[in-house]
Amino acid sequence: MNTYPRLFEIKESAILMPNILFRFDVPRENDKCVFIGEDCIINCQFIFESRDGCIKIGNRSFINGGTRLISRTQITIGNDVTIAWGCTIYDHDSHSLNWEARVEDMKQQLADYRSGNNMVLNKNWDTVNSKPITIEDKVWIGFDSVILKGVTIGEGAVVGAKSVVTKDVEPWTVVAGNPARVIKRIDQERK
């Protein structure tokens, strides 16, 4: 982090665990792209595969080890959020749905690698679907879950372990499965 202080805004009371990783696959401009709020405990990987992407984490949130936040657009995580270990939160498809575009992508990756560059340095991101992810306040995401592009997880929702979330999750619901479906609603009196 000391190498790229211009990219980070991290509150002093946030705890960054020893296994945290910030990975920038391509050079970034001077814009801030990582925001971490007060009293957080963060032990995950922040992965930026393009020159774009932003990850914002609110206050008092806990993100456990083995979790990967992979951003090309934006991932926003609210206050008082708990994310268990081994989750993947991915705001893009990584590759085009068009097979011809994937072939061209592979050719470019090979050329970049063979010339000593990072494999995604010259990737054509115009062919890749990307949409921001929003995880609202008081959410709990169980271990090994996957949150895909464009999803909003509503306030107080719980995502069961090993779930794949492909669509928005209503506030104060429990979802689980692949794809994740509503299992029950959380009693507003007991929240």
Active site residues: 95
Distance spanning both ends of the chain, measured CA to CA: 37
- Give the residue carrying structure tokens 């690698």: 113
**HSE-up (13 A, CA, CB side) for residue 119:** 7
| Helices and strands (H and E) in the chain: how many | 1, 20
Contact status, residue 55 vs residue 71, Cβ threshold 8 Å: yes
Write down how long the chain is.
Answer: 191
Q: Rounded to the nearest 5°, which phi and psi values hold at 103?
A: -65, -45
Distance CA 160, CA 180 (A): 8
Both tokens of 170, joined, read: 């209503």
Assign residue 30 a region (left: φ > 0; alpha: ψ between -120 and 50; beta: otherwise).
alpha
Contact status, residue 38 vs residue 21, Cβ threshold 8 Å: no
